[in-house]
Chains A and B, each alone.
Chain A
């Protein structure tokens, strides 16, 4: 069956009322959390994981992907109207977008962001549909040694390569790797670091860690922040519609942004922040009127907004085909798949083909929904910004606790006659860890990625060594693994060179918390 037929079947599944509803919930939530500064798609998906435990797998995953896409749309609104990025991927958008809003051109800025996101989302989702089968074919030939090399690459790019401090990134990664050791070792069936606690036999639940680090950690951080900056929301004045000149200036930027964003998102080192930044520099150098940059150039909104949406679709390529998360949201979506007993990777396309294609097709549907949600309803989203923070975070805290109890609420710990939930204790302990990491500027994503990929990397390494009967040379035998290691080395060296050439500030900006 070719891609068109598979995508067609996926569309039929995606257009079922139930899946449409899940997609609608996803994009609505996604836009909302995208608009709200400090709350992002990773946190939202993490919060919803325990709640969806008993729901339909396909529907839940469609909802998660909708949140991811929606977050990319919503983030621009805050950037443009508030000069505070709603989303780390929209940092660049604020540069030109807010200037436009100050000049009374907020409407066209929002419009070019939304239409650009739509076009980029559409092209990149189709890109995902056509690229994924090829990657799957390629990935089926991966042996344990190749998988191990892939994981090493992921570890390096997620933790050390892009960020202001490789040391902090690696520290965060190793916390995750350490937590990943807990539980029964798959190769020998022996328990490690469980200290006789039954709840630890199966290891630390990724969901619990993610909810704790993202939701509880962020709540504590917000509560501890003494300075509450009240930014002023720019009212949207004048026409919302773009002029003919705006269209002329935007379309090239949209396409460029898309073609920058998609491959960057698909690369293990990807992420929407990098894509949007690269797109901004590209627009600056392509612009006919470069002097307008910094004073509200519409290209500076159109390009990066297209790029961050395209990269969201790109991120799904390694996630679905290799089981490799390249961003925090992707890491938590991976946990979402695992929650339903699905393991993303080449086998997912073989064993759960209808689910995968329904998911990809509903991204196309979600994209249309987002365009409708974002253009006419923009006023509604802006109102979200007036919700007092304490209300918001009280809700998040309640939801995080209820969700964890609902998914894993066995009252398995006891002090005398009092029974308490072990999972809840873990949630609070990791929540404090999340706060400390944020407080001292350590990234969060490497911890989650370490917990998810650490055990997999260990299994693959030991399988490779076991098959070779202990000969470590097997790790470097295949051309695939050699290429992956080479890319990993480049990913380490390139930022060092960039730093030496004085681009460190840029990397620092990219390192801002991705949630």
Chain B
């Protein structure tokens, strides 16, 4: 039993928070995921560039980030040193979970990165191009099963938007949710579902190995190093990107907001950050200030509409 107690003391000591931290970044997801990696990459770049001396990352996982968001909005109000990482998935989760706390309850600072959504089929599929898929959708929407990440997330939203854009009923979209693109991979490769839809990085190695055929990417421009057309090139007037952002606490002064924005901008233009983006394969989509606020408002409105169309939000 002594060993147990000792282990308790040791682990207690390990989890003791450090004293001074210039910034604390809350990653509203479990360690290892995209938001956690974003927060930890920020932490490294902040300290490496000397923008902030001591940065702490905490994880509050759950419910598409809304649990972390609620905790952040309640506990860190007015704290000019607190940051939270978030993204498009959070926008959908706030709506589907009917979260009492929304992005209006924090102070969005800037969009940092973006990732295209990829639409893939297994190599053995009879669907060769996006046109084949569109034809199948128009023939019988429900017979096309889509495997992707969590319900109401960017993968699901993109599938709904594609249906809506080509003029079929989005409520008929047969979307099979997995906890992420990687989990969905087995079902896609095994031919259990018709198409797979998720972030391009989730499928990249299988596309390269020829096990999956890339039909299209959802971004405005083609993804560098990936051989596949955009939706727009394929005749579907649609561009969606899974972006990640950083927000500050509610109730901070405009001066504090400006100071944080300056720090984040310095971070985003720094060499450490740019190198990290390259190694992780993230696309720099930095946007701040009023342009970002407008973009965010437009994304929230579009998401709400499509989630209502799909039938996830009343």
Tell me if A187 and B177 are in contact (CB < 8 A).
yes
Tell me if A188 and B66 are in contact (CB < 8 A).
no
Closest to A203 in B: B62
- Interface residue? B277 (CB, 8 A): no
18 A-B contacts (beta carbon < 8 Å): A28-B3, A51-B7, A140-B190, A142-B190, A189-B150, A190-B97, A191-B98, A201-B62, A202-B62, A202-B63, A202-B67, A341-B30, A395-B1, A395-B4, A399-B5, A412-B71, A463-B176, A467-B176
- Interface residue? B78 (CB, 8 A): no
State A351–B185 Cα separation when bound (angstroms): 12
* Chain B residues, Cβ within 8 Å of A185: 151
- Interface residue? B236 (CB, 8 A): no
State A347–B181 Cα separation when bound (angstroms): 12
Given contacts A25-B3, A186-B151, contact A402 B12 (CB under 8 A): yes
State A36–B143 Cα separation when bound (angstroms): 58
- Interface residue? A270 (CB, 8 A): no
State A466–B142 Cα separation when bound (angstroms): 9
Tell me if A144 and B187 are in contact (CB < 8 A).
yes
State A113–B12 Cα separation when bound (angstroms): 38
- Interface residue? A1 (CB, 8 A): no
Chain A positions 495 through 513: 1 when the CB is less than 8 Å from some CB of chain B, otherwise 0: 0000000000000000000
Tell me if A51 and B8 are in contact (CB < 8 A).
yes
Tell me if A54 and B11 are in contact (CB < 8 A).
yes
Task: Identify which of A141, A189, A341 contacts B97 (C-beta below 8 A).
Answer: A189
- Interface residue? A290 (CB, 8 A): no
Given contacts A47-B4, A410-B71, contact A54 B15 (CB under 8 A): yes
Closest to A188 in B: B151
* Chain A residues, Cβ within 8 Å of B182: 347, 351
- Interface residue? A420 (CB, 8 A): no
State A51–B142 Cα separation when bound (angstroms): 46
Task: Identify which of B33, B145, B174 contacts A341 (C-beta below 8 A).
Answer: B33
User: A323: shortest Cβ distance to chain B, in Å?
Assistant: 11
Tell me if A143 and B190 are in contact (CB < 8 A).
yes
User: B16: shortest Cβ distance to chain A, in Å?
Assistant: 11
Tell me if A392 and B1 are in contact (CB < 8 A).
yes
Tell me if A402 and B176 are in contact (CB < 8 A).
no
- Interface residue? A469 (CB, 8 A): yes
* Chain A residues, Cβ within 8 Å of B30: 341
- Interface residue? A176 (CB, 8 A): no
- Interface residue? A106 (CB, 8 A): no
State A467–B11 Cα separation when bound (angstroms): 46
State A257–B167 Cα separation when bound (angstroms): 66
Total inter-chain residue pairs, C-beta < 8 Å: 117
Given contacts A29-B3, A189-B312, A403-B8, contact A347 B32 (CB under 8 A): no
Tell me if B179 and A144 are in contact (CB < 8 A).
no
Tell me if B192 and A347 are in contact (CB < 8 A).
no
* Chain A residues, Cβ within 8 Å of B12: 402, 406
Tell me if A410 and B60 are in contact (CB < 8 A).
yes
List A residues at the B interface (Cβ < 8 Å).
25, 28-29, 32, 47-48, 51-52, 54-55, 140-144, 184-191, 198-199, 201-202, 340-341, 343, 346-347, 351, 387, 391-392, 395, 398-399, 402-403, 406, 410, 412, 463, 466-467, 469
* Chain B residues, Cβ within 8 Å of A346: 186
* Chain B residues, Cβ within 8 Å of A469: 142-143, 174
- Interface residue? B96 (CB, 8 A): yes
- Interface residue? B61 (CB, 8 A): yes
Interface of chain B residues 156 through 194 with chain A (CB within 8 A): 174, 176-179, 182-183, 185-187, 190, 192-193
Closest to B153 in A: A189
State A391–B174 Cα separation when bound (angstroms): 57
State A28–B70 Cα separation when bound (angstroms): 42
Given contacts A341-B30, A395-B4, contact A191 B193 (CB under 8 A): no
* Chain A residues, Cβ within 8 Å of B150: 186, 189
State A25–B6 Cα separation when bound (angstroms): 12
Closest to A407 in B: B15
* Chain A residues, Cβ within 8 Å of B67: 198-199, 201-202
State A398–B1 Cα separation when bound (angstroms): 11
User: A411: shortest Cβ distance to chain B, in Å?
Assistant: 9
Tell me if B60 and A467 are in contact (CB < 8 A).
no
Closest to A186 in B: B177
Given contacts A189-B96, A189-B150, A469-B174, contact A184 B63 (CB under 8 A): yes
* Chain A residues, Cβ within 8 Å of B312: 188-190
Tell me if B174 and A467 are in contact (CB < 8 A).
yes
State A185–B32 Cα separation when bound (angstroms): 22
Tell me if B97 and A191 are in contact (CB < 8 A).
yes
Chain B positions 191 through 205: 1 when the CB is less than 8 Å from some CB of chain A, otherwise 0: 011000000000000
Given contacts A187-B177, A467-B192, 19 further A-B contacts (CB under 8 A): A52-B11, A54-B14, A54-B15, A55-B11, A140-B186, A141-B190, A186-B178, A187-B176, A198-B66, A201-B62, A202-B62, A202-B63, A341-B31, A403-B8, A406-B11, A463-B176, A466-B145, A466-B176, A467-B176
* Chain B residues, Cβ within 8 Å of A402: 8, 12
Given contacts A184-B97, A186-B177, A189-B152, contact A343 B183 (CB under 8 A): yes
State A29–B179 Cα separation when bound (angstroms): 35
Tell me if A387 and B151 are in contact (CB < 8 A).
no
User: A291: shortest Cβ distance to chain B, in Å?
Assistant: 43
Tell me if A51 and B187 are in contact (CB < 8 A).
no
State A391–B5 Cα separation when bound (angstroms): 12
User: B227: shortest Cβ distance to chain A, in Å?
Assistant: 24
* Chain A residues, Cβ within 8 Å of B178: 186
* Chain B residues, Cβ within 8 Å of A392: 1
* Chain B residues, Cβ within 8 Å of A143: 187, 190, 192
State A199–B70 Cα separation when bound (angstroms): 11
- Interface residue? B106 (CB, 8 A): no
Given contacts A392-B1, A469-B174, contact A187 B31 (CB under 8 A): no
Which 3 pairs of residues, A with B, have the shortest CB-CB distance? A189-B96, A202-B62, A189-B152
* Chain A residues, Cβ within 8 Å of B66: 198, 201
User: A57: shortest Cβ distance to chain B, in Å?
Assistant: 9
Interface of chain B residues 119 through 163 with chain A (CB within 8 A): 142-143, 145, 150-152
State A186–B193 Cα separation when bound (angstroms): 17
* Chain A residues, Cβ within 8 Å of B174: 466-467, 469
User: B238: shortest Cβ distance to chain A, in Å?
Assistant: 22
Tell me if B151 and A187 are in contact (CB < 8 A).
yes
- Interface residue? B45 (CB, 8 A): no
Closest to A143 in B: B192
State A201–B64 Cα separation when bound (angstroms): 10
State A184–B94 Cα separation when bound (angstroms): 12
Closest to B92 in A: A189
Task: Identify which of B61, B177, B185 contacts A347 (C-beta below 8 A).
Answer: B185
State A186–B11 Cα separation when bound (angstroms): 33
Tell me if A399 and B4 are in contact (CB < 8 A).
yes
Tell me if B187 and A186 are in contact (CB < 8 A).
no
- Interface residue? B85 (CB, 8 A): no
Interface centre among B1, B15, B62, B152 (most CB of A within 10 A): B1
